[in-house]
Chain A
Amino acid sequence: MENIIQFVYIASASLFILSLKWMSEIKTSRWGNWAGTAGMALAILATLLKPEIHGYLWIAIGIVIGASIGTPMAMLMPMTAVPQRTALSHAFGALAAGIVGSAEYFLHGSNLSMPQLIVLCIEVLLGFLTFTGSLLAFGKLQEIIPTRPILYPGRNLVSLSVFAFSLFLIAYLVIKGGSHPFLFSSIVCLSLLFGILLVLPIGGADMPTVISILNAYAGLSSSFMGFLLNNKLLIIAGALDGSSGLILSIQMCKAMNRSFTNVLFGGVGQVLEVADPSRDGKIVKSLSPKEASILFEAAKKVVVVPGYGMAAAQAQHVVKELTDVLENRNIEVKFAIHPVAGRMPGHMNVLLAEADVPYDKLVEMEEINPLFPETDIVLVVGANDITNPAARKNPGSPLYGMPILDVDKAKQILFIKRSMSTGFAGIDNDLFYSPKTIMLFGDAKKVLNELLISINSN
C-alpha cells in the first residue's frame, strides 16, 4: 500500500509542476488550474489510503464544512475583492500548517530528534505569523482596519525583539530537547504577535509585496511540514509555492525601486511632504467632464492608466463602455498597466478582464512607455504615484528611482481625481501642474459616466 501511495504522490507532484507550467500562458492557463485541482484530489485520496488512518468521520465533516465555506467565498465575492480573498485564504492555509505542527509537538515532542524539532518550530513560526499577518492584511484590504500604515515609535525595535526572542526560545527548545509545553506555547504566541507587528506598519500601496511574501511563507511552512512528516509531496508543493511568492515579491519590490527591508520596515506613507513653496505660483487647470469631452474630437490615440482608485470606485465597467464608444469613432484605445497598480500583482488585469476588456489591449509598462509621446490623450483613472514624473526627475523625492509610466510625455493628460489631496505615499504629483494636464475632479465612476454621455452627444 505504501508504494501505491508514493506513486500517486509522484503523479500529484507532476501535476502541480505541469499546473505552474501551463499557467505561463493564457491559452493553457485553465488547464493549469485543472491540473492543480487534479493533483490536490490525488494527494487527498492517496493520503486517505494510509493504513494508519482509521477514523474517517471527522475527516469527512471537516472537508464538507471547509468546502461549503470555500465555495461561496470563491463564487460570490466580487472581483474587486480578490486581494482580500487571497489574503484570507493565505491565513486559513497557514493556520492549518501551524495547528498540525503544534499538535505534532504536543503528541510526540519528547521523541523528536533535533533536526525534526528545528523544522517543526520553523513550520509553526511561519504558519502562525502568516496566519495573523494575513488576517491583518485582509482587514486592511477590506478596510475594517485603516489602510494607512499604523506607526508607533520604536516599532522596528519591538518587532525585531519579538522575532529575536522567539528565535531564542526555539534555539533553547531545540538544544534542550524533551517536552516543554509552556515554552512551546510561548513560541506560538510570539509567532502570532510577530505576524501582527509585521503587517501593522504596512500601508495599502505596499500590499502587492506583502501578499506575495505571505504567499511564500505559506508555501514554505508546508514544505517544512513535509520535512517533519518525511513527506516528499509536501516538500515539493511547498517549495514551488515558496519560489512563486519569492519571485512575485522581488518583482513587486523592483517595480517600486525598494528593497524587501524597506517595504517591511520603511513605513512609507508617513512621509508627508510639506507643500513645496515653489509650487505656490503654479496653476492647476480643471474642466468639467462635458468640457473635456470635446478634446476627444481630435484624438486618434488614447491610453487609459488605471490604478487602485478604479477598483475602489468600481469604475472598470464604465471604463470599458467609454473604450467602446471611442473605438467606434476609430480612436485607438490601450491600457497602460503598471506592475504595482492596485493591491495585488496583476490586480488591474483581472478587473479589466472582468469588464470584458480584451487582454491584448492591456500593455505592460516597458512596452507602453515609448508610445506615450505619440499619444493624444492619456486618461488617468484612480492612479497617482505611478505617474509622478518626480520619480525620474527629482532626486529628493521619496519616489525617485521608481519606474513609472511616462504619462507626462503624452500630448494631453486628463487626470480624474477626487480632490487635490496627495497620493497614497503622501507625495505631491508634479503632473498636476503640467500645462498639458487637465484635472477632472470627482468620483471616478461619476466623471467617466458624464464624459461618456457628453462624448455620445457631441
Chain B
Amino acid sequence: MTLNDWITNLYIFVLASFLGLELIRNVSRLLHTPLMSLTNAISSISLVGSLALTGEGDKTWVIVLGTIAIIASSINAVGGFLITDRILKMFRKSK
C-alpha cells in the first residue's frame, strides 16, 4: 500500500462518517431499535475479511480461525437482518 492509498482510504472514512451522521440524524426515534439491529447486521461486513482469510489460507490453524470468524459473522449477519425485518413488520398505523 502506498501513501496515496492511505490518504484515499482516510478520505473515504471521513466522508462516509459524515454521511452516516447525516443519515442517522434523520432516523425517527421510533425506529431506533431496528436501526441498531440493522447497523449491527451491516457491521458483519467483517465477513469479507473472514472469507478472504479462510479462502486464501493454507495452514490448518488459519482455516480453523477463519472458519470460526465466518461462523461468528454470519450469525451476526443472518440474525441481524432477519430480526430487523421481524421488528419492522410489527409497526402499523391506527385504522
| A interface, CB within 8 angstroms of B | 16-17, 19-21, 23-26, 29-30, 32-34, 36-37, 39-40, 43-44, 47-48, 50, 52-56, 58-59, 61-63, 65-67, 69-71, 73-75, 77, 79, 82, 85-86, 89-90, 92-93, 95-97, 99-100, 102-104, 107, 113, 115-116, 211-212, 215, 218-219, 221-223, 225-227, 229-248, 251, 337, 339, 344-347, 349-350, 353-354, 356, 358-362, 364
Instruction: Tell me if B55 and A59 are in contact (CB < 8 A).
Output: yes
**B45 CB contact (under 8 Å) in A30, A113, A222:** A222
Docked pose: A55 CA to B51 CA in angstroms: 10
Instruction: Tell me if A75 and B86 are in contact (CB < 8 A).
Output: yes
Most chain A CB within 10 A, of B46, B69, B75, is at: B46
Instruction: Tell me if B71 and A219 are in contact (CB < 8 A).
Output: no
Docked pose: A225 CA to B47 CA in angstroms: 11
A344-B33 contact, Cβ under 8 Å, with A67-B74, A96-B50, A236-B16: yes
Instruction: Tell me if A85 and B79 are in contact (CB < 8 A).
Output: yes
Q: Is the interface of A mostly helix, strand, loop or mixed?
A: helix
A40-B43 contact, Cβ under 8 Å, with A17-B23, A20-B24, A350-B90: no
Which residues between 4 and 19 of chain B lie within 8 Å of chain A, taking CB atoms? 5-6, 9, 12-13, 16-19
Task: Find chain A residues with CB under 8 A from B66 CB.
Answer: 58, 62, 99-100, 103
Contact with A along B39-55 (1 / 0, CB 8 A): 11111111111111111
Instruction: Tell me if A66 and B78 are in contact (CB < 8 A).
Output: yes
Docked pose: A361 CA to B75 CA in angstroms: 34
Docked pose: A65 CA to B79 CA in angstroms: 12
Instruction: Tell me if A99 and B78 are in contact (CB < 8 A).
Output: no
Instruction: Tell me if A77 and B17 are in contact (CB < 8 A).
Output: no
Instruction: For residue A82, give the distance in angstroms from its CB to the closest CB of chain B.
Output: 6
Instruction: Tell me if B48 and A234 are in contact (CB < 8 A).
Output: yes
| B interface, CB within 8 angstroms of A | 1, 5-6, 9, 12-13, 16-21, 23-57, 62-63, 65-95
Instruction: Tell me if B34 and A33 are in contact (CB < 8 A).
Output: yes
Instruction: For residue A15, give the distance in angstroms from its CB to the closest CB of chain B.
Output: 10
Instruction: Tell me if A53 and B52 are in contact (CB < 8 A).
Output: yes
Q: Write the chain B residue with the least CB distance to A16.
A: B42
Docked pose: A95 CA to B86 CA in angstroms: 25
Docked pose: A350 CA to B62 CA in angstroms: 41
**A350 CB contact (under 8 Å) in B24, B33, B50, B95:** B33
Instruction: Tell me if A353 and B92 are in contact (CB < 8 A).
Output: yes
Docked pose: A226 CA to B9 CA in angstroms: 9
Instruction: Tell me if B27 and A225 are in contact (CB < 8 A).
Output: no
Complex A-B: 13 CB contacts under 8 Å: A19-B42, A26-B31, A29-B88, A33-B84, A52-B56, A66-B74, A93-B72, A99-B72, A231-B49, A241-B40, A248-B36, A344-B32, A344-B36
Task: Find chain B residues with CB under 8 A from A55 CB.
Answer: 54-55, 57, 63
A243-B17 contact, Cβ under 8 Å, with A56-B55, A66-B78, A360-B94: yes
Instruction: Tell me if A227 and B9 are in contact (CB < 8 A).
Output: yes
**A218 CB contact (under 8 Å) in B6, B21, B23, B40:** B40
Q: Write the chain B residue with the least CB distance to A240.
A: B20
Task: Find chain B residues with CB under 8 A from A102 CB.
Answer: 65
**A247 CB contact (under 8 Å) in B21, B55, B93:** B21
Docked pose: A90 CA to B40 CA in angstroms: 6
**B73 CB contact (under 8 Å) in A61, A93, A219, A354:** A93
Instruction: Tell me if B82 and A74 are in contact (CB < 8 A).
Output: yes
Instruction: For residue B30, give the distance in angstroms from its CB to the closest CB of chain A.
Output: 5
Given A16-B45, A113-B1, 19 more pairs with CB closer than 8 A: A17-B23, A26-B88, A33-B84, A53-B51, A55-B57, A62-B74, A89-B79, A92-B72, A93-B40, A96-B49, A103-B65, A215-B36, A227-B9, A237-B45, A240-B16, A241-B43, A353-B92, A356-B92, A358-B95
Instruction: Tell me if B45 and A43 are in contact (CB < 8 A).
Output: yes
Task: Find chain B residues with CB under 8 A from A211 CB.
Answer: 36
Docked pose: A227 CA to B74 CA in angstroms: 21
